[in-house]
Amino acid sequence: MDLYSEYSAALDEGRYQDWADCFSTHAEYRLTTKENHERGLPIAIIYCDGKGMIDDRAFTTSETTISQPRALRHIVSGIKVCADGDGYRVRADFLILQTMLDRMTEIVMSGCYIDRVVVDADRFLFESRVCVTDTLLYPTSVVAPV
């Protein structure tokens, strides 16, 4: 649970390196649509294969992306956990809300996380997180990881 709340808080507060540190060394992170996922199409809106790419995504998100200012908020619910060998298979639903200047708060996307969580020393980490969005048409851009 701590992992899930820390993950959302890191993103919502723009602490992208803390977001990256929720992943294990060889972790995979993908953001894709339900359409790609169900049809087995491999392209992902964000695709990180290893912690190096996850760290790079954290850096570019805060340092090189030019975007309009906004507040993002992750609402995560319906967490379902299954023990799986030395780790856990977890699914959870998410909703992301966005608040921008001169705009009402709006929904950016909804979807579900398909995760594998492992224990590393004293904390839980994502070994794999695949974010599958119901949303097929993203509003403007996806300025941060999900």
Partner 1 sequence: METEIKWAKRDAAASNAGDSPAHDYVWPDEGCSRIPFWVYTDEEIYRREQERIFRGPNWSYVALECEIPNPGDFKRSFVGDLPIVVVRDTDGSVNAFSNSCAHRGVAFCQSEHGNAKSFTCPYHHWSYDLKGNVTGLPFRRGYKGKGGMPADFDLKQHRAQPLVVSVRNGAIFASFDATVESFDAYLGPKLLTYFDRVFDGRKLELLGYMRQRIDGNWKFMFENLKDPYHASLLHVFFVTFGLFRMDAESAIEMDETGRHGAMINRRGGKLDEVAAHEMRQTLRSDMQLKDTRVLDLIREYPGDVTAVMCTIWPNLIIQQQSNTLAMRHLVPRGPGSHDLHWTFFGYADDTPEMRAHRIRQANLMGPAGFVSVDDSEVMVMSQEGVTPYNDRAGVAEMAGRTVEDHDHTVTEVAVRGLYQHYRKVMGL
Q: Applying CB under 8 A, does 71 fall inside the site for partner 1?
A: no
- Of the candidate spans 53-61, 78-86, 90-98, 113-121, the one that interacts with partner 1 by CB under 8 A turns out to be 53-61
Tokens of 64: 């090189």
Strand partners, 74: 96
Position 93, amino acid: D
Q: Applying CB under 8 A, does 41 fall inside the site for partner 1?
A: yes
Alpha-carbon distance of 144 to 146, in angstroms, equals 6
* Residues in 84-113 that interact with partner 1 by CB under 8 A: 102
What is the pattern of x (binds partner 1, CB under 8 A) and - over residues 115-144? ---------------------xxxxxxxx-
Tokens of 51: 């912690």
Tokens of 119: 């224990």
Q: How many CB atoms lie within 10 A of CB 28?
A: 20
Interface with partner 1 (CB under 8 A): 31-33, 35-36, 39, 41-53, 55-57, 59-60, 63-68, 102, 136-143
